[in-house]
Amino acid sequence: MIDISPYHWLENIFNKINFENLPHGLVINGPKGIGKTLLSYKISSNLLLNKSTKIFDKELFFSKTHPDFFILNKEKVLLRHITFRKNTKKDEWDEELGERNINDFLSGTPSISINKVALILNAHTMNKEAQNALLKTLEEPSPNSFIIIVTDRSNALFDTIYSRCQTINVAPLSNTDLNSWLSAQGITDYSAHDFPSYFTPLSILNAIENDQQNDFKNFIDILSNFFVNKIDQNLVIKNLNNLNLDLITKLNYLIEFLKILLKSKLLSETLSGNYSNIKNAQFNNLKISNLINDINNFRIEYYKVPQINESHLLNYVFSELKNSIKIS
């Protein structure tokens, strides 16, 4: 079977699932890197016991040749992935799936297992047409069929989809729990405070494995040097580019930095560690809140128009930052 014991928060959720009275549809919500895919595999394995042996066919499952398991793992889930139309344009043909789709798969009877399971990852990317097509199958499910829908964003799906599914929310760990878990994995050189608050256990592991564990710390150091006038605006942008971060990550880090700054003032918290250079920062709360909203809007626009000039955008942002934050 699939072992989730190293991830106690997933094991706690799994142990509470009533497989004797499980609805045909499950939605697993939670931030990226919290272990939703692993949990979905564990749930799937429990539903895919062999009819004859009552054992999970692990080799078939992980080789993606299991006849009763359909995994849809696309950057964007489209209508043709849910239900295939014969008039699909040639340039929309999916080389991996061909005409295979979720609804047709679930309409058949199980082959070797007790149940059929369709797993949809990145379900938050489904457009209205795809969700409507999925909804029809959820409304009239075939016997012994299950749909597991995994999404990084809560409320990303139609209310009617949620109403026909059991929702499992995988919550982020507290800093205390995250630090305990990191220590149990033998990671003692880093703690939750070395990463943005939205980083999850698996995203931290991924950062360490890819030698990116110091990216956020280095980012904050560059910003601190900028505010205390050790480097000018041109050099701050040059130094940030040397970190080899994409624009979205830079904007996410900027928002995290401003939220920490704003929180420290609102809760009268003293900044320390990476933020010690700016613990005496003076700023207007409303202006910082507005700047956070501006950066959020830039991020949304970049997703729509990825050819936005990064240097122009960052120059604007840092000019606003310099005018908004003063170090006494």
- Reported as a single tens digit per residue, the pLDDT across 211-234 is 999 999 999 999 989 988 899 999
DSSP string over 104-168: HHHHSPPSSBSSEEEEESSGGG--HHHHHHHHHHHHSPPTTEEEEEEESSTT-S-HHHHHTSEEE
- Percentage of the chain exceeding pLDDT 90: 73
Question: Are 117 and 148 in contact, with CB atoms under 8 Å apart?
Answer: yes
- pLDDT band at 99; cut points 50, 70, 90: confident
Categorize the per-residue pLDDT at 288 as very low, low, confident or very high, splitting at 50, 70 and 90: very high
pLDDT digits (tens, 9 = 90+) for 162-204: 999 999 999 999 999 999 999 999 999 999 989 999 999 999 9
Query: Contact 194/212 with Cβ under 8 angstroms?
Result: no
Is the predicted pLDDT of residue 93 greater than 70, yes or no? no
What pLDDT is stored for residue 209 in this prediction? 93
Q: What pLDDT was estimated at residue 87? A: 62
Q: Which of 75, 74, 94 is nearest to 84 (CA)?
A: 94
pLDDT at 86: 66
* Antiparallel, parallel or unpaired: β 116-120 and 69-72: parallel
Q: Is pLDDT of 90 > 60?
A: no
**Residue 132 near residue 157, CB atoms below 8 Å:** no
pLDDT tens for 140-163 read: 999 999 999 999 988 899 999 999
Q: How far is CA 272 from CA 113, 197, 245, 260, in A?
A: 56, 16, 25, 11
Q: Which DSSP category does 277 fall into?
A: G
With bands split at pLDDT 50, 70 and 90, how would you rate the model's confidence at 131?
very high
Give the helix ranges, DSSP H, for the chain: 8-15, 36-47, 58-62, 79-82, 102-107, 128-139, 159-163, 175-184, 201-209, 215-227, 233-241, 247-266, 285-304, 310-324
Over the chain, what is the mean pLDDT? Answer: 91
- pTM confidence score: 0.87
Contact 306, 247 (CB under 8 A): no
- Cβ 295 vs Cβ 316: under 8 Å: no
Percent residues over pLDDT 70 in the chain? 96
Cα(202)–Cα(30) distance, rounded to whole angstroms?
Answer: 13
In this predicted structure, the answer to whether residue 91 has a pLDDT above a threshold of 60 is no
Give phi and psi for 170, each to the nearest 5: -100, 105
In terms of DSSP bridges, do strands 326-327 and 281-282 run parallel, antiparallel, or are they unpaired? Answer: antiparallel
Q: Own/partner pairs for 307-311, CB < 8 Å, 24+ apart?
A: 308/247, 310/247, 311/237
Question: What is each CA distance from 133 to 82, 98, 159, 319, in whole angstroms?
Answer: 6, 18, 14, 47
Average the pLDDT over 7-36 and give the result.
96
User: Residue 88: its pLDDT value, please?
Assistant: 56
